Amino acid sequence: MTPNVTPLVAGNWKMHGTRASLDQIKAIAEGVKGPLAAKVQSLLCPPATLLYVATALCDDSPLAIGAQDCHETASGAHTGDISAEMIADCFATHVIVGHSERRTDHEESDALVRAKAEIAHRNDLVAIVCIGETEAERKGGRTLDVLKTQLAGSVPDGATAANTVVAYEPVWAIGTGLTPTVADVAEAHAFLRAELARRFAGEGVAMRILYGGSVKPGNAKDLMGIDNVDGALVGGASLKSEDFLAIYRAYEDLTA
Ligand code: 13P
């Protein structure tokens, strides 16, 4: 945790979820109502097909809704893509950019991710900028170099603590059940904090840095209790409302 920074617990549903899953969104929207909402922000990023109905379901809930990607330009002939304006038009408030699955599946570069974050900002969306090393990069001792390059290349100059969240997601920890040690997470987040503070001064000190990669109810408290870990980006465990809410509620102890 970082002093005076409101943590964010975010769920990324990836390519999962149909209308049948709306009950899960409803349960999460209900479950995050309560005193903890004053101390911890919650966010769910369902697939684009559910965005508009999801924001309607969250009308009277502190649960925010975000998208998982946006195109880097405002509009045009880009079949199948979704613009930041369209996301905002659905009343969503956040968008994930540069997730490792997009970097791998769609060969997205740091420059492209930065352009996506910039257009998100122009549409008043909070950009959640994902970075993280592969297993080979970690084994080769290159983790911090990779993070430095990705952070510098993917986060736009106009980033502030209000419009940008950084998510550190080691690629090898995503969907594998493996997580880095507490010491490894602490090292990566302290490094990212120093880099952000150097580049963005006070805004960088207050920018949230989430951890993502096999966050579960059983390890949430340990991971989110680490210095400079300001929340979680949860994949698989966010599909089940009980698991997502159990992760969110780990902050009951951490903020007590
Ligand atoms: P898992 O929690 O399923 O490992 O996914 C993490 C992730 O990629 C969130 O964006």
Q: Could you say which of 99, 108, 133, 137 is catalytic?
A: 99
Q: Is 121 a catalytic residue?
A: no
If one residue of 14, 94, 129, 165 were mutated to test the ligand 1 pocket, choosing by the most ligand atoms within 8 A of its CB, it would be 14
User: Which pLDDT tens digit goes with each residue over 14-63?
Assistant: 999 999 999 999 999 999 999 999 999 999 999 999 999 999 999 999 99
Ligand 1 atom with the smallest distance to the CA of 130 is 10
Cβ of residue 212 lying under 6 Å from some atom of ligand 1: yes
Ligand 1 centroid – CA 52 distance (Å): 23
CB atoms within 10 A of CB 80: 5
CA distance 192 to 198: 10
Residue 256, pLDDT > 90, answer: no
- How high is the mean pLDDT of the chain? 98
Structure tokens at 209: 């840095």
Active site residue 30: no
Q: From ligand 1's centre to the CA of 26, what distance in Å?
A: 21
Q: Is residue 200 within 8 Å of residue 159, measured between CB atoms?
A: yes
The answer to whether 9 and 37 are in contact (CB under 8 A) is no
Band of residue 159 on the pLDDT scale cut at 50, 70, 90: very high
| pTM score above 0.85 | yes
Mean local confidence (pLDDT), 178-191: 98
Rg (CA), the chain: 17
Ligand 1: distance of its center to the CA of 184 in Å? 18
* Domain residue limits, the chain: 61-89+102-129, 131-163+170-208+218-228
Model pLDDT for residues 115-136, shown as the tens digit of each residue: 999 999 999 999 999 999 999 9
